A and B are shown apart, each in its own frame.
Chain A
Amino acid sequence: MHSNMNQRSARNLFKSAFRLFTSFGLATFLILAIAFLSILGTILPPCCPTEHMTTAQSPWSLRSIISFLRLDDMFHSPWFLVLGFLLFLNIVMCTGKKLHGIIFRRRQSSPGRQSPVMLRSLTHVGIAVILVGFTLGGYAGFESYVEIPEGESVRIASFLPDHERVDQGLAVRCDDFTIEYYASGMPKEFRSDLTFERDGEIINQGPLLVNHPISIDDIRYYQAHYRVDPLAVITVDYEGQTSSFTAAPGQNIPLGHGASLYVSRIEENFMNMGPAAKIEFSSPRENGSLWLFYGIEEILDAVPDLFSRAPQFNPSKFSGYVFSLAELKPLYATGLMVSYDPGIPIVVLGSVLLLLGLFFTYLAPSSAARFRMKKDPSGEKATT
Chain B
Amino acid sequence: MNITVLNSVAFLYLAAFACSVLFSITGLSLFGRLRVISLFGGFAAHSAGLIIRWVESYTLGFGHAPLSNFYESLVFFSWAIVFFTIVLGFFRKIEELSTFIVLVAFLLMAYASFSPHIDSQIQPLIPALKSNWLISHVITCFLGYGAFVIASVLAAAFLFSGSRRSRNTSGVEERIYQCIVIGFVFFTIGIMTGSVWAHYAWGRYWGWDPKETWALITWLIYAATLHTRFLRAWSGKHFAVMTLVGLASVLFTYLGVNYLPGLHSYL
**B230 proximal to A (CB < 8 A):** yes
Interchain CA distance A134-B257 in the complex, whole Å: 24
Q: Which of A131-168 contact B (CB under 8 A)?
A: 134, 143
Interface string of A188-214 (1 = CB under 8 A from B): 111000000000000000000111110
B229 adjacent to A375 (CB under 8 Å)? yes
B232 adjacent to A213 (CB under 8 Å)? no
**A18 proximal to B (CB < 8 A):** no
When A31-B223, A38-B220, A47-B260 are in contact, do A186 and B123 touch as well, CB less than 8 Å?
A: yes
Interface string of A213-250 (1 = CB under 8 A from B): 10000001011100000000000000000000000000
When A211-B131, A222-B202, A339-B203 are in contact, do A31 and B220 touch as well, CB less than 8 Å?
A: yes
The residue in chain A whose Cβ has the minimal distance to the Cβ of B206 is A134
B127 adjacent to A190 (CB under 8 Å)? yes
Interchain CA distance A34-B177 in the complex, whole Å: 22
When A224-B202, A354-B188 are in contact, do A32 and B127 touch as well, CB less than 8 Å?
A: no
Q: Provide the residues of chain B in CB contact with A32, threshold 8 Å.
A: 220-221, 224
B220 adjacent to A34 (CB under 8 Å)? yes
Write the nearest CB–CB distance from B77 to chain A, whole angstroms: 22
Q: How many residues of B contact A (CB 8 A)?
A: 47
When A35-B217, A358-B188, A371-B181 are in contact, do A211 and B235 touch as well, CB less than 8 Å?
A: no
Interchain CA distance A280-B148 in the complex, whole Å: 66
Q: Provide the residues of chain B in CB contact with A344, threshold 8 Å.
A: 199, 205
Interchain CA distance A373-B130 in the complex, whole Å: 42
Partner among B174, B192, B201, B227 whose Cβ is within 8 Å of the Cβ of A28 = B227
Could you say which of A169-177, A267-275, A314-322, A376-384 contacts chain B? A376-384
Main secondary structure of the interface of A (DSSP, over half): mixed
Q: Provide the residues of chain B in CB contact with A307, threshold 8 Å.
A: none
A143 adjacent to B203 (CB under 8 Å)? yes
Interchain CA distance A366-B208 in the complex, whole Å: 37
B205 adjacent to A347 (CB under 8 Å)? yes
The residue in chain A whose Cβ has the minimal distance to the Cβ of B209 is A42
Q: How many residues of A contact B (CB 8 A)?
A: 55
Partner among B178, B202, B213, B214 whose Cβ is within 8 Å of the Cβ of A337 = B202
B124 adjacent to A27 (CB under 8 Å)? no
**B25 proximal to A (CB < 8 A):** no
Identify 25 residue pairs between A and B in the complex whose beta-carbon atoms are under 8 Å apart, listed by A's number: A28-B227, A32-B220, A35-B216, A35-B221, A35-B224, A41-B208, A42-B213, A42-B214, A42-B260, A47-B260, A187-B126, A210-B127, A210-B201, A211-B130, A224-B202, A338-B203, A339-B203, A354-B188, A355-B189, A355-B192, A358-B184, A362-B185, A373-B177, A375-B232, A376-B232
Given A186-B123, A347-B205, A354-B188: 12 more A-B contacts, CB < 8 Å: A31-B221, A184-B123, A186-B124, A186-B126, A187-B126, A210-B127, A210-B201, A212-B200, A224-B203, A344-B199, A358-B184, A373-B177
Shortest 6 CB-CB distances between A and B: which pairs? A337-B203, A210-B127, A35-B220, A222-B203, A31-B224, A339-B203
